[in-house]
Structure 1
Amino acid sequence: MENKMGRPSLCGKLSAQILTEYGPSGLLPSERELAARYGCSRLTLRKALHLLHDSGLVASAPRNGHFFTDAGRGNILQTQRATPTLMLFSMEERLRDPAHTYMIGGAVHQARLSHVNLVLRELADKESDFDALRGNANADGYIIAGAAPSALVEALTADGKPCVVLGLLYEQADAPARLCCQQLLLGTTHIYREVGRHLRELHHRKIMVAYTYGESRDIVEVIRSAFSSPSSGEVSLEAFCPPLMRQERTPETLRRAAFDTVRQLNGHTALVVPEGHIYALEIIRQLQCNRIRFPEDISLVIQGCETDWFLDSYQISCVYAEYRDQGMACIRELLRQLNNGRSEAGVRYTPAQYIMRQSTGLAPAVASQ
């Protein structure tokens, strides 16, 4: 689009810039983000987007915003710079965790949708020298999946390229106090306030929170805050962490931890388990072996993801998060930073929710009245 002098108009320049910067990823941010990025009004931005619409490169849909069409993506791949290459690093131990592999699967899926190359590299658990990874000329950005030494974070961020750490906050307990990368977290801790409110409404006043990761103690305080009003009365909230070290997390030790957890129950009316997989499943089995019914004898809340099939089978009330969605989010976050031309540091959260099912009910003393 040209003005009367035969020169490209402001909207024409803007549409060309949008195509150049966002074309390689095939992703378009919201109108608000684009207007802030280019320092223009929403009206000017829409005129620029209409030019791309008229060219058949961009389309829009209700509630989905603007996106590149198949024709647009084909044009972009032929005319724009080489396809970005992202490198994903994972420690050997983490690849044995089904939820972790779901996260990586989500990253692989989003990489295909976004037309980027994704290289997965496994690092030995005892590896500590990461100098060889500094300044990798073949990578445009990095992903660290789950727990990893802070030395790895420092090595990958040394050249200023975008780096996303994917996983829970406690997995980066030794990370530098000043974040030098973007960390994507499953924001579950605050959801436990909702769990606490639900148990309070069901008149539970003796609750156990059982976990094998010591850092989950923050969840105990969040649940406690739901009982802070004077009308809640006296509440006993017990935290129990069986003697299980991280390096000993084998199926057998997790079964033993579940056995110790159920044996620790003593008049508790609710049990909250902020983790899933073998530990949570074995707790269910131990409750059944001891003829402890839920919710008749005890209410049960478990944190899980799409790999925990037993949540549906036993209709367990749960704090639920899609790990696959988190893997997809890390690719989108890296591409956003690449499109903006700068790396960012901080924390961004991916969604989680509390789903109430049949494993939670009134406290036994109240139910019998």
Structure 2
Amino acid sequence: MTLNQNARLSIAPMMDWTDRHCRYFHRLMSRDALLYTEMVTSAAVINGDRNRLLRFDPAEHPVALQLGGSDPAELAHAVRIVRDWGYDEVNLNVGCPSDRVQSGCFGAVLMRQPDLVAECVRAMRDECPVDVTVKCRIGVDDQDPEDALPRFLEAMVTAGVTRVTIHARKAWLQGLSPKQNRDVPPLDYPLVFRMKQMFPQLHISLNGGIATLEEAGAHLEDGLDGVMIGRAAYHTPAEVLLQADQRIFGHATPARSAEEVALLMLPYIDAHLTDGGRLNQITRHILGLFAGRPGARGWKRILSEGAHQDGAGPELVERALQEVITRAA
């Protein structure tokens, strides 16, 4: 399967959420969905703890690294480092609206500077053996998306980009918090569909407000190349991912159950603890595994109350799982 095919369904890069433990967990539910790291700045790659920032389990493939930055030379330097880590894709963030990102002059604020983004992409592609992609908004602040987005995409195509993900909301850099920017600006799906018609050669994935496989499938049937799901994949992972390979990618292999996924996490947890990690670094990502099912409250309670305690290990997860099994009986 090519990466373009994997990108029919992807899980959004989400700060503080899509770390390597979360991605390993998600991979147990779907073998083909494209997974993204949290955003890592180019400066952090160059100067920071690379093992902490870039390490991932080989089982996570296909997995993409999202970079943040606006200096072409610095981004190129970061990509030279990153290429040895074996990611399947490198993605440039042109969508994050946080104050911290704005102060560094990258993220959504770059929607105002498509030529600079194109220069960044060219510098990255010169150093990168894998796809360099872009994730953007439809515009920022007082920009007219009908004008700003086509101009931005034209610059990306000219720079050699073949795949973009569009969060179908504006980002309001003044007056809205990052959290509000995920919900308050209205979604404009039709604009993204028009961009696909305007740029048929461009692989376009839609992001923003999509919560179910049914919605994802409808957007794909209507002509988009891919769908990226964010918070729903984190809070209700079983609903989004357990049937993804069958319904999005056409596999005949039966899907795993949520109970099977919980058991498959145990060896991974044991290895993490042996490596000096703590249980809650993993369990915080799996609290929603049984969302909406009998026993879900007990599952969350047992893990939330016990995983941070010294000596907590896989047996706590087994006890939480038994709560679910008992309630379902």
TM-score by length of 1: 0.26
Q: Report the structure number with the largest CA radius of gyration.
A: 1
Question: Which protein has the bigger helix share?
Answer: 2
TM-score by length of 2: 0.29
